[in-house]
Structure 1
């Protein structure tokens, strides 16, 4: 899953050229939190969970999950678009946390938010698959160790849990955002980036240049760019140029997503999705984020959605194999709906536990990373000004440190 876990409290309208760096953080008051986005994130994650438990192929039910849940399967399959929705939200949220900040702050906040929960999830799932339920998936200790880096796809190593593919996508987007922050984010540059980056990614996708496609985040660039533009309008007001580029990105997203998901869902389930529904829901990923952030809905005072939204990332990380394990143990002993409810509830409890650990590990990790990145190396002795008497003795040579 997309790690869409940036705060959704938005800064008030800044000066035309916002300052970068930590000093600006204390000068910018925050707008009310976008609680509706917290709820949307959770619903997207829940859609993925239900897709995996009731439609996507697995052996835990003793037969095809689609045959176990024929009533909801034709609807639940569209939960496969949960990651695409996460990517739009991520484009919005990560730009929000990056605008007006400097590189150390952005790098520290993103790494500290991604890795602690991820490490816990990788360790927990690896323990499950290596020693508790080896029938779930055949993995090795070496694969589990490489997965802890989150770079396993770059090394050609299998994901311990298939859902980790979205984190590799997010990580590449974060690298591009860090480069953008280093360059300097402005409205004009943002419009150009969100127009040209997805077009370049599309050309690379059509020409099938794998390494460059990896760099440009290929078919998912339109989702991130669309979310960034929606944040721009949330921050500075709607504009025709921004809407036109959002529309272009939505069109590119439909072009790439519909054929791919038609193949993926038809291969991994007993159902065949409707391409028109896939197209409408793909556009809907952009539309729903726009509605929740550009209309009066953004002012909903539903603070209870904040802790719900906080479970999104850990739920996405831990649900699949731990939920399947529980289903495998209960499927022959209870009603299918009871088993499904138990698997979802169990996944939520695990997500809550991971979140509790993350709350303790995340802040110190962020502070340590940012402090390390801001630490400047001591100047070399040759460049230090020498005391006057040393200069007199050494004909102007600097005294040793």
Structure 2
């Protein structure tokens, strides 16, 4: 009687096309749509909910009925962090440290440097005197790690990049020691707990190193990535629940303080817990159910606009509101400024990110390889991701 060969279990990366060439990988276009939704939510929060002088008075006076709704747009940051945990683990699985670093540099810095150049044009040429900015501050911001040296961000939205960079550093450590399924589960369970303890105890150093209140958002996204293949794993569901609970405690509370400091509204525990739960639920529905199957082109295009839109919308958007509002009603002003920001994001993606990103990635990869050879060591790679044991893998 011929023996039946059991097909090898797939890793989560292979389940999503991670083992195939880039051109053949299925893309979760709806996840791109979620990223765009997060960016637009933050834009609406900054334009309609945050109190600033661009409207000629307090924002709440222009949008008394919309501000209580737009304030929830601030949780777009938390949504993006959950998505980031999923996507970064997907992109890192099976790579070595050198490839991961090169891909992140090529992805982040072209649009980031453009945003710095444009905010300098605004602060030094278009609206001089609106904010003091010097050469040391600018030079520090070019590194994206200015907060590590106590230097102020040129744009308020840059604070999220500091959180992302620290998350990438931890992923790099995992790649260096060997990224396996079991290590990822242990990491996603222990890391956010340690981060929450550091936040609650007021230990600033460890809170910074462990990504503070945002750790459970990234960790939860990582667990959702693992659940793509092991949907019936009780361990993974328990770790996901742990991260949702911790995110509500620490990240939800931190976001409520930001809201209270920038608007006239107070968001209570029940409300911010619900907002955090919705962030996780949206990502879970997209990656674990048929909702994420559509591959509409426009969603991919919207996802491509997310990062430059987020970087460019704040200072220039408020300036444009100040210039447009005296001539148009508030709703029309919002629509016009948002359209201009979307157009700017498209131009940044088309003429900066697309041509420069791949070149920068290749250049960084070459330099890292040369550096590795110069010190006489082979690249610190990663053992191939171990497939989960057959009895731990559920059928899809």
Same fold (TM over 0.5): yes
Report the equivalent of 2:197.
203
Secondary structure of 1:311's counterpart equals: helix
Report the equivalent of 2:391.
none
The within-5 A match list for 1:257-336 is 257-336=251-330
Which of 153, 161, 168 does residue 162 from structure 2 map onto?
A: 168
CA distance in 1, matches of 2:307, 2:41: 13
Q: Are 2:363 and 1:368 equivalent residues in the alignment?
A: yes
Secondary structure of 1:273's counterpart equals: coil
CA distance in 1, matches of 2:59, 2:298: 33
The within-5 A match list for 1:143-162 is 143-162=137-156
CA drift of 1:57 comes to: 1.7
Q: Which runs of no fewer than 5 residues in structure 2 stay unpaired?
A: 1-7, 377-396
Which of 316, 335, 347 does residue 353 from structure 1 map onto?
A: 347
CA distance in 2, matches of 1:134, 1:56: 23
Normalising by structure 1, report the TM-score. 0.86
CA distance in 2, matches of 1:265, 1:254: 15
Structure with the larger RCO, 1 or 2 (CA within 8 Å, 6+ apart): 2
Secondary structure of 1:313's counterpart equals: helix
Report the equivalent of 1:5.
none
Secondary structure of 2:26's counterpart equals: strand
Judge conservation of contact 2:102–2:362 (CA < 8 Å) in 1.
yes
Q: State the structure with more CA Rg.
A: 1
Compare 239-248 and 253-262 and name the one that shifted more.
253-262
After superposition, the Cα gap between the structure-2 partners of 1:26 and 1:32, relative to the gap in structure 1 and judged at 3 Å, is: closer
Report the equivalent of 1:6.
none
1:92-131: per-residue Cα shift (whole Å, max 9, x none)?
0000011111111111101110111100111111111122
1:202-254: per-residue Cα shift (whole Å, max 9, x none)?
11112211111111101111000000000011144441111111101110111
Secondary structure of 2:51's counterpart equals: coil
Judge conservation of contact 2:227–2:236 (CA < 8 Å) in 1.
yes
1:168-205: per-residue Cα shift (whole Å, max 9, x none)?
00001001001101111111111100000111111111
CA drift of 1:157 comes to: 0.9
After superposition, the Cα gap between the structure-2 partners of 1:291 and 1:133, relative to the gap in structure 1 and judged at 3 Å, is: same
Report the equivalent of 2:331.
337
Judge conservation of contact 2:11–2:229 (CA < 8 Å) in 1.
no
Report the equivalent of 1:54.
48
Which of 73, 92, 96 does residue 90 from structure 2 map onto?
A: 96
Normalising by structure 2, report the TM-score. 0.87
Report the equivalent of 2:243.
249
The within-5 A match list for 1:80-119 is 80-119=74-113
Report the equivalent of 2:136.
142
Judge conservation of contact 1:74–1:273 (CA < 8 Å) in 2.
no
Q: Which runs of no fewer than 5 residues in structure 1 stay unpaired?
A: 1-12, 381-401
Q: Are 2:373 and 1:377 equivalent residues in the alignment?
A: yes
CA distance in 1, matches of 2:12, 2:332: 56
Secondary structure of 2:327's counterpart equals: coil
CA drift of 1:258 comes to: 3.3
Compare 115-124 and 132-141 and name the one that shifted more.
132-141
CA distance in 2, matches of 1:309, 1:103: 26
After superposition, the Cα gap between the structure-2 partners of 1:302 and 1:16, relative to the gap in structure 1 and judged at 3 Å, is: closer
CA distance in 1, matches of 2:310, 2:342: 10
Compare 26-35 and 67-76 and name the one that shifted more.
26-35
Aligned residues: 364
CA drift of 1:64 comes to: 0.8
Judge conservation of contact 1:92–1:231 (CA < 8 Å) in 2.
yes
Secondary structure of 1:270's counterpart equals: coil
Judge conservation of contact 1:250–1:283 (CA < 8 Å) in 2.
yes
Q: What is the root-mean-square deviation of aligned Cα atoms in Å?
A: 2.1
Compare 64-73 and 287-296 and name the one that shifted more.
64-73
